[in-house]
Amino acid sequence: MKRIITDILMPAIVFVGIAAIPVFLVFMMVMQSDIRAICANAKIQYGESCVPSLMKLVEDESAPFRQRNKAIWALGQLREPKALPVLEELYSGETPERESLDGGISQYELEKAIRWIKDGNVTSWMYTGIK
**Which residue type occupies 98?**
R
Q: How many domains does the chain have?
A: 1
Written as tens digits, the pLDDT of the chain (131 aa) is 455 555 556 666 666 666 656 655 555 555 556 888 899 899 999 999 999 999 999 999 999 999 999 999 999 989 889 999 999 999 998 888 888 888 999 999 999 999 999 988 766 655 565 65
Contact yes or no for 127/78 (Cβ under 8 A): yes
Q: How far is CA 70 from CA 24, 30, 36, in A?
A: 22, 15, 12
Domain span at 72:
2-127
C-alpha span between 74 and 80 (Å, rounded): 9
Say what the pTM is.
0.73
